[in-house]
Structure 1
């Protein structure tokens, strides 16, 4: 009978040791770290690999070091030119200092999410609607730098921010369409006016050259008549400029 109690006690001791050993051994992957607290005080960051802790004396908090993709919910933003738009974005961040991420902020993921929403409205509100539509890369960089400056004290590195979509109201879409149409008409008129200016300059140069020799004007006149006369179905009557003929006949009389 005493042997039975001895075996029972030995089995109980082995069972307790296995439980303590299971509570003391932890294995962390390459992308994981553990923040260790000894009697409530921070005592270091360990991992990856095998980590041994003293049960009931030391506690740990797992931290994932991989990049996190954070979807920023759609935010109502009023631009600098008083246009109301709805904007959503994606934020890419990761933990670079596990100690700060656990000690300095209660929930770094939720804190980064809330800060991203606030920063998105704050930065975009300083720019006009045209900047939101045409200069997204510049705005992405501005939001990323503003976020990174705030999350640095939390041990968080914001690597990238991408504005996904900018939604406009129907009235604003129609207004932008009218503006684009007016801009196209303006460009067409400017191009037409520039063409007229270039043509007038060329005509002025041609007239200046022809004015040097009256015979050249007559030849140009006759050439125009030849071109018009090539169309057999058209009859055109042109008055013959006498000043051209007089200059031409005057030169013939002077000839021997």
Structure 2
């Protein structure tokens, strides 16, 4: 079993939970983020804040947490023409997918992550994709991840393992995972420092964190938090 992992870390709720998951399992964990001209560019600053708080509040995890990498994938944003890379109103396209879908994004992210992992001798790629509470993106599905693992291993003659700890969790369960892994401290880090909002809104604070409250990402995060808190408060009150 590989003892080292590379977490695809955007600084959002899901990747924060995945980072904690990896730090609880692997001896050495590195992180990689991507600057692809995203509309919510503020997430690149938030990801650094999340990493800093995890280092500060979790000494055991800090000892395992290695180098952070930020890759410039600006070309992806230039050719995507979607609501995540331009000032376009968020809506559903004729395909049935929201126009926040960046075609090939996760495929490209995993390819570059694997290239980095090859050089850094990291055997596991951890990504927060999910097909339970999600917007229908085809590159978040389990069969896509299985196909990518096969393609990367064939193309690089490696034995990478792609781990998707959130694949079958809804957003409430993702909040619960954070609570199980890091307790109230990790919940606070997620609420205060992680970023999910597609519009990059950081001026409005809700119980679940910062955002616009109306984009698909905020709606999923808020609904999941409400469901989680009802159960969490019941457990704490016992």
TM tier, shorter chain?
Answer: under 0.3
Relative contact order, higher structure (CA 8 A, sep 6+): 2
| Structure number having the greater strand percentage | 1
TM-score of the aligned structures, taking structure 1 as reference length: 0.22
Structure number with larger C-alpha Rg: 1
| Structure number having the greater helix percentage | 1
